[in-house]
Amino acid sequence: MKPESRDPAYLWDMRSFASEAHRLVRRIDYARLEKDSMRRLALERTLELVGEAAKRVSAKFQADHPRIDWRALIGQRNVIAHDYGEISHRRLYDAARLQIPGLIVELDRLLDGG
């Protein structure tokens, strides 16, 4: 099976985990996230999985769809997974609130054949 044939499944995984990450923070402020360790860990994990799925998307597909910042998604995953320094929950919160909604729109477009 060619790597490209798996791309739609990875996009679907990205979409699913991105939606979950956004759901975790969309109705709360950062102060609440700081106090809720379970929610913080869930946010870390969902964003890690977005990046893991992004990493598995074929290089050709990534190159053909530059509107998605593949490098940033994968880089964020690496920081979370390998704990390079201290994880900035503020950055994760901001990403989930500000960048993830646009990612979801782009993934929906790609999954709908756009």
Q: What is the pLDDT of residue 13?
A: 98
The pLDDT assigned to 41 comes to 96
Judged against a pLDDT cut of 60, whether residue 51 lies above it is answered with yes
Coil vs helix vs strand at 2: coil
Q: CB 59: neighbour CB atoms within 10 A?
A: 10
CB 18 within 8 A of CB 36: no
**Alpha-carbon 9 to chain mean position:** 15
Q: What is the pLDDT of residue 9?
A: 97
Tell me, what's the pLDDT at 84? 65
- Contact present, 87 and 41 (Cβ < 8 Å): no
Whole-number pLDDT of residue 58: 96
**What is the helix, strand, coil percentage profile of the chain, to 5?**
80, 0, 20
pLDDT digits (tens, 9 = 90+) for 75-100: 999 999 997 667 899 999 999 999 99
**Residue-range domain boundaries for the chain:** 3-111
- In tens, the pLDDT along 5-29 reads 899 999 999 999 999 999 999 999 9
CB 22 within 8 A of CB 97: yes
For residue 97, give both structure tokens. 């609130």
